[in-house]
């Protein structure tokens, strides 16, 4: 029996190694093809602004289904049950709100969210928001690389730090070569791959746990409580909606997908498709986390999903499921990395891409993408787990920028001075609250921003003029 077990383990490792090599080779080939297709900065950053609704929806969903929505959400469900699904469900709520604001985003001639903020509030706000996003998105890209390193270490052994560097290198190379042309072009098939991998993991895992009766017998009844539970209160949900849900309505990655679309209808169809995908997947991934808790009650929450795949799936399917997760991390990492590179190049460095010419601008963009990717991977090596890292990043962003962005999107922008004051005060309060573990202080950051917005509206009254409209 021991020899059979060792033989099965050895065969499983070989299968994973072969599949991983094939996957890496395929990604490099696609990147090289993208290298030939990218001719302008607009191709590299926005896929030429010609993506259809199906590709926008696939890219949005694939971007969302990164480390936090797979390993992170499964880890939340491992700890507290079905309410872990709210990590994605608040995102669906944010995207639903964005459906009604597409026109205002698509009407603006910008490459990025700070570019939009610059049009609404002036250059100072553009630079401030770019600094917020640059710091926050370093952590988000790094978390994807760290998650990839951890899952590779779980399947193949070795130190996760080495695998993080290897996975990060692949992510960076792929983004540098093909830009958004490659990312959007491959996100839809990668999304299908991810969905199949998640469904297979849930099915085999649930069977190993004895079906739903076995799962109910193994877990405390509180794990099945929804929408709230003993470990997840209404105030927890409200704070999650503020910190995480707001990034889906106003986040730079979501808005960048809309800027890549060919027209408003394509953007709306893409948003609707992504909502239809992530809502059922939120419950499916939560089920995976709960099954993992029943089968491996002593595991680390964020390691439970890989353990379930290794322990319940046949070697070939386990290897394919592992690649499905890597695909999720790749899609999310490259979208966020290109968002970060755009912010660094256009909004912080102030490069005029149209004036520089295609060859020079593409060279600078690729160089900044590579440097940003390396910095993000290093951040990922020292991050404190997927969900904590992403919550810190989201808090920095949403605490300072959500209210000014929302004000502009609904057609009631602040005066530039008020917007800068709201961003600085709200961001500082929310970040301090997160670092101190004081949830009321995080909520106070949003409240201060909202109060500044309302006070500004009362003091200034109605403001009109083409430079204030979106």
Which tokens is 62 given?
Answer: 């694939």
Please tell me the predicted confidence (pLDDT) of residue 373: 93
What value does the mean pLDDT take over residues 357-371? 86
Q: Which residue has the higher pLDDT, 220 or 389?
A: 220
pLDDT in tens, 93-136: 999 999 999 988 887 778 888 999 999 999 999 999 998 888 88
Please tell me the predicted confidence (pLDDT) of residue 12: 60
CA dist 85 and 94 (Å) reads 15
Please tell me the predicted confidence (pLDDT) of residue 383: 67
- pLDDT over 50 (residue 348): yes
pLDDT in tens, 321-337: 888 888 888 888 888 99
CA dist 116 and 125 (Å) reads 10
| CA dihedral sign, ordered 462, 465, 467, 470 | positive
pLDDT in tens, 229-272: 988 999 999 999 988 899 999 888 888 889 889 899 999 999 99
CA dist 335 and 435 (Å) reads 27
What value does the mean pLDDT take over residues 439-449? 89
- Nearest Cα neighbor of 350 from 134, 106, 126, 180 is 126
Q: What percent of the chain has pLDDT over 90?
A: 41
What is the band of 387 on the pLDDT scale with cuts at 50, 70, 90? low
Domain ranges of the chain: 7-386
Q: What percent of the chain has pLDDT over 70?
A: 93
What value does the mean pLDDT take over residues 208-231? 94
In sequence order, what E strands does 158-286 have? none
pLDDT in tens, 6-52: 444 455 678 778 888 888 888 888 888 878 888 888 888 888 788 99
CATH architecture of 7-386: Up-down Bundle (1.20)
Please tell me the predicted confidence (pLDDT) of residue 353: 72
Q: Which residue has the higher pLDDT, 315 or 265?
A: 265
What value does the mean pLDDT take over residues 449-469? 73
Q: Classify residue 35 as left (phi > 0), alpha (psi -120 to 50) or beta.
A: alpha
Instruction: DSSP for 48-97, please give it.
Output: GG-B-HHHHHHHHHHHHSSTIIIIIHHHHHHHH-GGGGHHHHHHHHHHHH
pTM: 0.87
Is 89 within 8 Å of 277 (Cβ atoms)? Answer: no
Please tell me the predicted confidence (pLDDT) of residue 385: 60
What value does the mean pLDDT take over residues 381-385? 69
- Can you count the helices (H) and strands (E) in the chain? 21, 0
| CA dihedral sign, ordered 11, 285, 442, 120 | positive
- Tokens 């509030």 appear where? 121
What is the band of 423 on the pLDDT scale with cuts at 50, 70, 90? very high
Please tell me the predicted confidence (pLDDT) of residue 5: 43
- pLDDT over 90 (residue 211): yes
Average of per-residue pLDDT values in the chain:
87
pLDDT in tens, 139-162: 888 888 888 888 888 888 888 889
């Amino acid at each position: 029996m021991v020899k059979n077990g060792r033989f099965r383990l050895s065969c499983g490792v070989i299968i994973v190694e072969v599949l991983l090599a094939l996957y890496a080779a395929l990604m490099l080939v696609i990147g090289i093809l993208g290298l030939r297709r990218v001719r302008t900065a607009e191709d590299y950053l926005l896929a030429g602004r010609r993506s259809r609704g199906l590709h926008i929806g696939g890219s949005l969903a694939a971007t969302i289904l990164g480390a936090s929505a797979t390993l992170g959400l499964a880890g939340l469900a491992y700890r507290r049950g079905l309410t872990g699904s709210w990590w994605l469900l608040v995102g669906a709520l944010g995207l639903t709100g964005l459906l009604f604001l597409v026109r205002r985003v698509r009407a603006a001639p910008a490459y990025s969210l700070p570019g939009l903020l610059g049009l609404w509030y002036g250059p100072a706000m553009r630079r401030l928001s770019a600094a917020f996003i640059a710091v926050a998105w370093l952590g988000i890209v790094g978390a994807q690389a760290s998650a990839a390193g951890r899952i590779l270490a779980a399947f193949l052994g070795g130190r996760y730090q080495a695998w993080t560097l290897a996975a990060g290198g692949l992510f960076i190379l792929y983004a540098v070569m093909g830009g958004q042309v490659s990312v959007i072009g491959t996100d839809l098939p990668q999304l299908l791959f991810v969905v199949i991998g998640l469904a297979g993991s849930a099915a085999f895992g649930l069977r190993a746990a004895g079906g739903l009766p076995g799962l109910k017998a193994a877990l405390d009844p509180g794990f099945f409580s929804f929408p709230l539970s003993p470990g997840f209160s209404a105030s927890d949900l409200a704070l999650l909606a503020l910190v995480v849900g707001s990034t889906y309505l106003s986040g730079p990655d979501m808005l960048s997908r809309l800027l890549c679309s060919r027209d408003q209808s394509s953007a709306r169809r893409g948003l609707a498709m992504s909502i239809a995908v992530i809502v059922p997947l939120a419950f499916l991934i939560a089920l995976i986390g709960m099954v993992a808790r029943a089968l491996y009650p002593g595991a680390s929450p964020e390691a439970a999903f890989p353990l379930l795949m290794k322990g319940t799936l046949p070697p070939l399917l386990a290897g394919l499921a592992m690649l499905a997760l890597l695909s999720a991390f790749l899609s999310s990492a490259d979208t966020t990395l290109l968002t970060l590179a755009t912010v660094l190049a256009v909004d912080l460095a102030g490069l005029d891409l149209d004036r520089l010419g295609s060859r020079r601008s593409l060279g600078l963009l690729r160089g900044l993408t590579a440097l940003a990717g390396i910095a993000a991977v290093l951040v990922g090596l020292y991050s404190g787990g997927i969900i904590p890292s992403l919550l810190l990043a989201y808090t920095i962003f949403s605490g300072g920028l959500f209210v000014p962005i929302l004000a502009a999107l609904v057609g009631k922008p602040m005066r530039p001075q008020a917007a800068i004051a709201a961003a600085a005060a709200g961001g500082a309060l929310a970040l301090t609250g997160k670092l101190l573990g004081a949830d009321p202080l995080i909520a106070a950051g949003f409240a201060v921003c909202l109060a500044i917005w309302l006070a500004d509206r009362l003091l200034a009254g109605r403001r009109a003029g083409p430079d204030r409209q979106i």
